[in-house]
Amino acid sequence: MSAASAVFAPVAFALFGIALLWPVQERLQRVLPRALALVACVVLLAAIFVVFGSLIAWAFGRVGRWAMTETSRFQALYDGAVLWLEGHGVAVTGVWTEHFNARWVFTAVQTLASRANSTLTFWVVVFVYVILGLLEVDNFRRRAAALSNPALRHLLLGGTRETALKLRRYMVVRTQMSLLTGVLVGGLAWLVGLDLAVEWGVIAFTLNYVPFIGPLVTTVFPTALALVQFSSWQSAALLFVALNAIQSVVGTYIEPRVSGSALSISPPLVLFAVFFWAFLWGLLGAVIGVPIAIALVTFCSQHPTSRWLADLFSTSGRDV
């Protein structure tokens, strides 16, 4: 799976996209010809890609430009930290001092940005797969319904239907929680006078789609900016605590009550899914890891021989 990520990762994202878009196409097909319904779905998908990509590029671009203009302040902060550590008997000279500086940090950021640009090809492949997949949904359903093995027929039809329903519910809940997180983070940044408050809200919204990793980034980076802007570790520490409080309340209190049984998989499985698929496919794996876990648990619940796995890794017994 890791070696062939260029093949499997686009397929996984395409199946996720098909599960989200198929109800739209199915409803449109009731009033429009199939070809026009497909075109409408393709336009909708393209619009989502453009809007989401533009938000990410705008927010991160603004933060990156701000950081470039404040290079001297980052360097001064680093130099002060080195002096403080050396004054307390911690040597930070030699190779570490030569290589880990503001220039090294910004070079790493530029490298990361160039790699992000290469993902355009990946999303084009996903886009094509989604179009082809939407054309095949009806045919797949007919072929699956015609299978002579009733257990296999139930597994395929019931599993795909229930998985699609749960994935749609997952995306609705994730979007709601991302919007709430973005508003709260942006509002907090504006309240304390942190630069780029709107941008931090947008970044919190977009990165919240990546469980664990996204909230960590949207907590650490604004704290680092606050440390540079306010030149006070106390202010930065208070902001860090407040950001963590937002993530904790939204993620551990509000989201479980909104999602209900749609995301009834155990937290250890969610954590494992995020890091396992991130290990295989990088950041893209972290994004798609939870949907894959939801799909696997749902399919396991459709057959008696594997239902014990669904019971074991869900939070609501057999009601997976």
Q: What is the largest CA-CA distance in the chain?
A: 78
Q: Give residue 265's pLDDT.
A: 79
Tell which wins on pLDDT, 86 or 29: 29
Domain assignment present for residue 318? The answer is no
For the segment 97-118, the average pLDDT, to the nearest whole number, is 57
Domain assignment present for residue 47? The answer is yes
Domain assignment present for residue 319? The answer is no
Asked if pLDDT for residue 195 goes beyond 60, the answer is yes
Asked if pLDDT for residue 320 goes beyond 60, the answer is no
User: Which residue segment(s) compose the domain that 114 sits in?
Assistant: 5-313
Tell which wins on pLDDT, 258 or 302: 302
Domain assignment present for residue 292? The answer is yes
Paired tokens of 33: 């010809």
Q: Give residue 291's pLDDT.
A: 93
Mean confidence (pLDDT) of the chain: 83
- CB neighbours (10 Å) of residue 133? 18
Tell which wins on pLDDT, 121 or 176: 176
Q: Give residue 95's pLDDT.
A: 47
Identify the band that residue 84 occupies on the pLDDT scale cut at 50, 70 and 90.
low
Q: Give residue 229's pLDDT.
A: 83
Q: Give residue 268's pLDDT.
A: 84
Q: Give residue 203's pLDDT.
A: 93
Domain assignment present for residue 186? The answer is yes
Q: Hey, what long-range contacts does 175-178 have (CB within 8 A, 24 or more apart)?
A: 176/258, 177/208, 177/250, 177/251, 177/254, 177/255, 177/258, 178/204, 178/205, 178/206, 178/208, 178/209
Task: Indicate the number of domains in the chain.
Answer: 1
Domain assignment present for residue 85? The answer is yes
Domain assignment present for residue 232? The answer is yes
How large a percentage of the chain has pLDDT more than 70?
A: 82
Q: Give residue 318's pLDDT.
A: 45
**Radius of gyration of the chain, Cα coordinates, nearest whole angstrom:** 23
For the segment 188-196, the average pLDDT, to the nearest whole number, is 91
Tell which wins on pLDDT, 226 or 107: 226
Q: Give residue 202's pLDDT.
A: 94
pTM: 0.81
Domain assignment present for residue 231? The answer is yes
Q: How far apart are CA 127 and CA 46, in angstroms?
A: 8
- Quick one: DSSP state of residue 118? T
Q: Give residue 258's pLDDT.
A: 73
